[in-house]
Each structure stands twice: as structure tokens, then as C-alpha cells.
Amino acid sequence: MNRLPSQAEVVIIGGGIIGCSVAYHLAKLGKKDVLLLERKKLTSGTTWHAAGLVRAMLYSANLTRLARHSLELYTRLEKETGQATGLKQNGSISIASNPERWDELRRGASMGRAFGVEAEEITPRQAQEKWPLLNIDDMVGAIFFPRDGQTNPADTAMALAKGARQGGVKIIEDCKVTGIVTRDGRAAGVRTAEGDIKAETVVNCGGMWAREIGLMAGVAVPLHAAEHFYVVTEPMDLPSNLPVMRDMDACAYYKEDAGKLLIGAFEPKAKPWGMNGIPEDFCFDELPEDFEHFQPILEGAIHRVPKLGEAGIRKFFNGPESFSPDQRYLLGEALELKNFYVAAGFNSIGIQSAGGAGMALAEWIVGGHPPFDLWDVDIRRMAPHQNRKTYLYDRVSEALGLLYAMHWPYRQYETARGIRLTPLYMRLKENGACFGEVAGWERANWFAPDGVAPRYQYSFKRQNWFPYAAEEVKATRERVGLFDQSTFAKFLVRGPDAERELQRIAAADMAVAPGRAVYTQWLNERGGIEADLTVTRLAEDAYMVVTAAATAGRDLHWLKRSLAADARVTVDDVTNAYAVLGVMGPASRALLQPLTESDLGNQGFPFGHSKEIVLGNVAIRATRISYMGELGWELYVPSDYAIGVFDSLLAKGAEHGLKLCGMHAMDSLRIEKAYRHWGHDITDEDTPLEAGLGFAVAFDKNADFNGREALLRQRAEKKLTKRLLQFALDDPEPLLYHNEPIYRDGKLVGNTSSANYGHYLGRAIAMGYVRDEGGVDAAYVAAGKWEIEVGLKRYPAQASLRPLYDPTSARMKV
């Protein structure tokens, strides 16, 4: 008899800890018809050999929520299933042996507080009391996280599997999925040697195989395996209540393991593995030892724990783990295929993440949307080229080490760079640009003056480019700045039903005259902001949608999925057809007017309008809007004319004091003006009313729109208990980066969502949601004494509902 069913509602591929957790949580949500297929044995991929460290905190509020869920779940699993997990919460100590790391750890501890995680600053001596073998000679300080701990990965996965089975999930081992069945753009089942299985939903939890499984379905799952090492000593008579210890400056972590010490490595240059495919029979396998590779870590370990010099090594372990291009895992429904979900690429934190990620994905599958904002790990953030083997191979050699490297603000990748360039790239480079990467694009972040190398020197304090970005901001505020904004994604929406469709999708009124550029949000049914963009009406039946590079794939996907089945509309991605030059600042009109016969005056070309004009010899589209808060135009130039237009602007600009400006300056300008940044200040769990964007919602337009009902309900409550505020520190010295705790009258009320130095205002500026059940309004803001915590120290701040820079937007409308 065939042991496989012919169909299941949900098929999960992969029986590692992630697949088991997704299965467990689907069962908890009442899904009865769930099938998990494992090619060999449960846990036989990566899970069985993990070190099992679990932390209570991750780098964002919602990922910390997921980590907390993992810990709570692992605490109760044994009671629930009868299978022990081996969880011990002895806490963890992170140590610093230089001032920069100490800065980082203290900022991290503050972030923990913002997310409700206990974090105690302790002295080297106190650290030694908790961890007696520690050499503290060169230590500056340490942070103790009392809730952290360690678990047994295989036992925890088996407990989840047991709980899943108890909830009705069917688990079949030794059954490899060999193909994905698709129909009408959706997953419809899986293929195995024992026959096909129909399914409504397919979930790829294939660990380091997940990329291959994705390719079976035409779905990009950018991850690559790397060798990952630890050693286990001979017994050292260690107490079983020893906390985990991290010495990130020495790229190492330590955990007690049945009286022995396990020392794991996050070396700076890792060894990618499995480039030519993973061996077919891989099952509970180890990779060959590489003592030479591990030796520097061991030397550092003997320095930190001198007793190791006397201990023998019992086990040298090397096993593969998968890493993603940005060290964040890949979760959610694939852009390319409906009902095909992914949970993979766990970057060495799959054990601690499994509980939360499994819960989130199960809710996503059942509810049709993420339970809360998970953009940090959402698979839709990846650009297509990031799934190329060579790209992944290069990046993964760097990715593993970055987990313990200094988490510098603005840190840029050194591998797999220079792949996607704007038409102006070489010109910008010749002019001193220092580039950073976003969504696979190279973007000029700042410009080095003559004689200065365009290279970052990182710090938590002012970095080397700080004064140059300040000059760029000054030029834009006082004269004119030229920005390469070509990485904007551009979609043409055309057809007789274009207006009808966009009216339903956008919260603003799209029934405007051709030539109008409208700032709008696209909302989900809950009123949350799925996209934040500008839509320009080109003609009665044509619009151009412009959005950020980082959300290009996601926004295009949202647009296409939101169209009615019968809509007579085509959508074309024309991103690469146009460069975008931002000419911004009070002198922008004086610079541009002599180059065109079109009237650029305030009457002839008002704010929020867009026109085709001839600039020099080139027909372009000019749109009068600004993300920088100044008079200015975005020029959409056909890519083949971009360099010519750029050269003439640069030449003519000299007499107006034009300066080339980068993304760091742009971010400083926009945060002074309190312009929101999607993914930080606004997400799918924030509504326009909470975000202070109610002005952009056309409640009374002549059409219903997604999210309207939810917003009307929220508006009827007459009280907002969560609102986005802008902050400025009183003290001009400290810098803010985001995720800093916000206090009102000494009480924690939120955390910053984005931050930068406001070069023009001369202080660090941030935005952040503040929550209060009594309501957050102007009186509440004015009555509070506000502080923001930086590195465990609180600094007084000014809070405001209105932009601190040019609150009436007068400067853009002159």
C-alpha cells in the first residue's frame, strides 16, 4: 500500500527544526491535514549538530518577539509533549575587550531594554564571578542577559515533531520531494518518487537545500552553505549552571556541554560549501576537520580562557549551515509563486529562531498575511541576482563572520559588489563617490573631496564622512544639490481600467488630471501601510508608479496581486529605462530654467506637478516633488541620455554652487523634514493615522479603497494610542541610529524607528512610535519630559508631532 496520501492541505518539505516548528504551529492553529516530508531522517541535515545557543533578543522589536516566543515555547514543550528539550536558561555574558565593542554592547543593551529584554551592565570582575575561567586582563566591560541560555537542538526539534504529531500532523521520513507541481501561478502539490501529492500550500523548510527546492518551482531562495566549526574539550569539571559566554572580538562563543567546554567560531573569512550540490546521501554527516582554519580562534580562546591551554580537545566539529546575503533569514510567501512559502537561511540562529519563525509562518499561511511587520526577514526583500551561485558563494564567505564582527553603523559589504550599477555610476565614481549597496544596487552614499579616499572609517561616533555629508546637506538647504536617484523602481500602469484599479489600491485620490504627481500609501485590509510611493498620472489611461529600490519587488507584487481578475491593465517595470536626477535646493530653478523653454515658475510648474520638458537637447520628464524638503525637481531621463544631462547640470551648476550629494545626506535631509521611511517608520502594521499621514488619505474620494473601513473605525475611536513622533536630542553630541528606547517622564513608551544626524538642525534626529493607552495627542506630547537612551545613558530630547524642519512645507512651494 502507498504510504503517501494523494493530497494534503499543507505539505512541508524538510524535517529540521524549522519544518517541525511550522508543522507544530499549524497544528496549534487547528490545521488537521498537514503532511511533513523529510528526505532522510528528522534533524539529519543541520539541526542535529547545532550548538543550541538561544537568546532572548534579536536586532528588531518584532524579531525579539519571535525569539521570546521560542524561549517560552521551549520552556513548556517537555510538559506538553513528554519529550525533554534540554533547555537551560543560565543567561549569557557578552564581553568587550576594546572601547568600540563596549560602545556596541552598551547600545545593544539599550536596544534590549527598548524591546523589554533584561540586560545588565557588569564589570569585568562581576563577569569573572559568573564565569570563573575568564581572563579579564584586557576586558573593558560586559553585559549579562539573564534570560538567555542553551537547548538541545535535536531534542527540541523532536519535541516539536512530537507536538505536531499529537496535533494531527503526518510526518513521513525517507521521502524526498523531487519537484513542485504548479497550476495557474500557484503551488498545487509536490512530486516524489512514490507519486505526486496534491496540496493547497507548499512550505519549503529545506535548510541548505532550500535554494534547490526553490528552483524546482522557479522561486529564488538566496542562500548558500558554509562550513561552521566548533570544538569540544575533554571534561573540564565545569558547573552545569555556567552561562553562555560570547567574546565577539575573538570571534568565539563558549558553552558548557556536559562538563566539557564547547567553543564555536565565527571567523572573518568563512569557507563556502556545497557549490556543486550537496551529496545525495548527506545524512547526519560531518565535514572534514580544518585545524589550520580554526587555529586562530583557538589561540584567542586560550588567551580568554587560559585553562584551555591544559585541556585536550575531544571533538573537532565541522558542519554546514546556510547563510543568506544579508544575514537575515528568508520567511514568507514567495513573490514568484502563490501559496509557496519559505522558511530557510537561518544564518546560525535557526535553533533560537525556530519557535518564533514557525509561529509567524503558520499564522502567515492561515491568515494570508504576516502576523506583524516582518520586513527584516521577508523573502520579498531579495533582488533576483542575489540568487546567483557565484554571488552567493562570494557573499557567504563574508556573511558568517559578520555575525560577530563589529556591527558598525553604515557598515558595507566587501564581497559580491559592483553588480547592479546606475547609468551614472562611473561619473559618480570619477567625482569621488563612496558607494553602498541597497537591494543589490550600488548607490553613492557620500562624496569624498579631492585628496580624500572614498572609503569608510567606521565608528559609533562621527565617522570620517560626517563633515562631507554635512556639506552636502548645507548645499541642498542653501544652494542646490544633485542626487542620483536612478535606483527608484518605476512601474508603468496602463490601460482603460488603470484609474479604477489604482483608485482601489491607493489611499489617495488617483482621479487627478494628467500631469499630477500624488504621494500615497497602499494599504492592506487592516489599514496597515504596504507601500509608500508616488504615482504620477501620465495620461487618461497611464500612470507611473515610483517607489524605493528596496521595496521594488514587494511593491510590484502587491500591485499585480491587487488588480481585479478582469482588469484591462498592463503593468511594466521600466526601472532600467530611466535614470533619475534629483535637482534639489533653493537654487534649483535658477539652474534649470535657462536649460529649458518650459516655464519652471511657481505658476507655470506648481509643486506636485509633472511634465515632459526638453532640457538642453533631451526630452525628459520633470516632476516637482522632493524627499529632501526643498524646492526641486526629479528629472526622469532616458538612460542613454543620462550622462549627457548629468554633465550639463554639473557644468552649469558650478555658478549656483551645485554639489553632488549622496544617500547619507538625503537621509539626513528627509529625517529633518520628518519624511517617513517605509520599512522603518511605516510598515504593514502601522496605519496612516498612527504614522501622521492622514493628510494623504482621501476618505471622501469617489471610490472605495483598500483599508478604508479599518481607517474609518480607527478614526471613529477619536483617540490614537500609538503615534509616530519626531525627536531631536538637546545635546548636539550623541548620535542616534534607531532602536533606541524612548522615555516620557521616566517611563519607557517606545523606541526609535529611524534616526540620523540632522546636519542642518545640528542635532541627532529620530522618529519613533510612542504608545499610551490614554491617547497620544499634541497635549500629551507637549506635557511630557522626553528622553532617549543611548548606550545605557539617557539624553533629554524634544518631541514633536509636526516636522521640526519647515513644518508648513513653505520651502518646497516657492
Ligand X SMILES: Cc1cc2nc3c(=O)[nH]c(=O)nc-3n(C[C@H](O)[C@H](O)[C@H](O)COP(=O)(O)OP(=O)(O)OC[C@H]3O[C@@H](n4cnc5c(N)ncnc54)[C@H](O)[C@@H]3O)c2cc1C
Nearer to ligand X, 264 or 750 (CB): 264
Nearer to ligand X, 261 or 351 (CB): 351
Local structure of residue 235 (DSSP, 8 states)? P
Residue 693 binding ligand X, by CB under 6 A: no
Q: Which residue reads 591544559 in cell numbers?
A: 310
Shortest distance, position 273 Cβ to ligand X, whole Å: 10
Shortest distance, position 688 Cβ to ligand X, whole Å: 37
CB within 8 Å of 35: residues ≥ 6 apart: 5, 8, 10, 11, 12, 169, 170, 171, 172, 197, 199
Nearer to ligand X, 19 or 553 (CB): 19
Nearer to ligand X, 148 or 789 (CB): 148
Residue 351 binding ligand X, by CB under 6 A: yes
CA–CA separation, 242 and 305 (whole Å): 14
Nearer to ligand X, 19 or 189 (CB): 19
Cα within 13 Å of Cα(460), Cβ side: 18
In 409-497, the DSSP E strands lie at 433-438, 441-447, 481-484, 489-494
Q: Build a one-symbol-per-residue string for 8-27: x at contacts with ligand X by CB under 6 A, - elsewhere.
A: -----xxxxxxx--------
Residue 64 binding ligand X, by CB under 6 A: no
Total residues interacting with ligand X, rule: CB under 6 A: 41
* Bridge partners, residue 572, by sequence: 492
Nearer to ligand X, 213 or 523 (CB): 213
CA–CA separation, 320 and 290 (whole Å): 13
By CB under 6 A, the residues from 578 to 617 that bind ligand X are none
Q: Which stretch binds ligand X (CB under 6 A): 36-44, 369-377, 454-462, 503-511?
A: 36-44
Residue 38 binding ligand X, by CB under 6 A: yes
Closest CA to 108 of 70, 136, 148: 148
Nearer to ligand X, 96 or 177 (CB): 177
Contacting ligand X (CB under 6 A), which of 8, 23, 47, 556?
47
By CB under 6 A, the residues from 311 to 340 that bind ligand X are 319, 321
* Bridge partners, residue 204, by sequence: 13, 342
Residue 436 binding ligand X, by CB under 6 A: no
Query: What's the CA angle centered on 755, arms 751 and 759, to 5 degrees?
Result: 145
Contacting ligand X (CB under 6 A), which of 4, 27, 35, 51?
51
Nearer to ligand X, 210 or 742 (CB): 210
What stretches of 272-418 show up as alpha helix (H) in DSSP?
291-304, 350-367, 389-402
CA–CA separation, 638 and 597 (whole Å): 19
C-alpha distances out from residue 291 to 255, 288, 370, 491, Å: 20, 10, 43, 52
Nearer to ligand X, 55 or 738 (CB): 55
CA–CA separation, 614 and 619 (whole Å): 4
CA–CA separation, 788 and 601 (whole Å): 43
Shortest distance, position 125 Cβ to ligand X, whole Å: 27
Residue 737 binding ligand X, by CB under 6 A: no
Query: C-alpha dihedral over 66, 25, 557, 338, to 10 degrees?
Result: 160
**Reduced to 3 states, what is the DSSP secondary structure of residue 302?**
helix
Nearer to ligand X, 264 or 325 (CB): 264
Nearer to ligand X, 67 or 134 (CB): 67
Contacting ligand X (CB under 6 A), which of 149, 206, 222, 707?
206
Residue 223 binding ligand X, by CB under 6 A: no
CB within 8 Å of 315: residues ≥ 6 apart: 231, 232
Q: 159 exposed, middle or buried (CB, 10 Å; 0-12, 13-18, 19+)?
A: buried
Nearer to ligand X, 314 or 461 (CB): 314
Whether 645 contacts 581, CB under 8 Å: yes
By CB under 6 A, the residues from 246 to 265 that bind ligand X are 264
Whether 320 contacts 228, CB under 8 Å: yes
Shortest distance, position 99 Cβ to ligand X, whole Å: 28
Nearer to ligand X, 246 or 664 (CB): 246
Contacting ligand X (CB under 6 A), which of 57, 161, 205, 697?
205
Residue 701 binding ligand X, by CB under 6 A: no
Residue 37 binding ligand X, by CB under 6 A: yes
Q: Which stretch binds ligand X (CB under 6 A): 200-208, 368-376, 410-418, 534-542?
A: 200-208
Residue 266 binding ligand X, by CB under 6 A: no
Local structure of residue 440 (DSSP, 8 states)? T
Shortest distance, position 190 Cβ to ligand X, whole Å: 8
Contacting ligand X (CB under 6 A), which of 52, 355, 653, 768?
52
C-alpha distances out from residue 372 to 62, 193, 250, 378, 715, Å: 8, 38, 36, 11, 21
Shortest distance, position 214 Cβ to ligand X, whole Å: 11
**Terminal Cα distance for the chain, rounded:** 79
Nearer to ligand X, 223 or 693 (CB): 223
Contacting ligand X (CB under 6 A), which of 12, 31, 46, 661?
46
Residue 124 binding ligand X, by CB under 6 A: no
CB within 8 Å of 451: residues ≥ 6 apart: none
C-alpha cell, 790: 543611548
Q: Which stretch binds ligand X (CB under 6 A): 134-142, 306-314, 344-352, 540-548?
A: 344-352
Number of separate helices (H) and strands (E) present in the chain: 18, 38
Residue 293 binding ligand X, by CB under 6 A: no
Nearer to ligand X, 352 or 521 (CB): 352
Whether 23 contacts 164, CB under 8 Å: yes
By CB under 6 A, the residues from 224 to 243 that bind ligand X are 228, 230
Query: C-alpha dihedral over 549, 553, 554, 557, to 10 degrees?
Result: 140
- Reading phi first (left if > 0) and then psi (alpha if -120 to 50, else beta), residue 100 is in alpha
Nearer to ligand X, 112 or 153 (CB): 153
Contacting ligand X (CB under 6 A), which of 189, 243, 350, 791?
350
C-alpha cell, 493: 500602469
Q: Give, to the nearest 10 degrees, the angle between helix 61-81 and helix 350-367.
A: 100
Residue 90 binding ligand X, by CB under 6 A: no
Whether 684 contacts 376, CB under 8 Å: no
Shortest distance, position 84 Cβ to ligand X, whole Å: 18
Shortest distance, position 485 Cβ to ligand X, whole Å: 38
Q: Build a one-symbol-per-residue string for 155-194: x at contacts with ligand X by CB under 6 A, - elsewhere.
A: ---------------------xx-----------------
Q: Which stretch binds ligand X (CB under 6 A): 349-357, 493-501, 539-547, 598-606?
A: 349-357
Residues of the shown chain interacting with ligand X in the complex, contacts defined by CB under 6 A = 13-19, 37-40, 44-47, 49-53, 153, 176-177, 205-209, 213, 228, 230, 264, 319, 321, 344, 346, 348-352
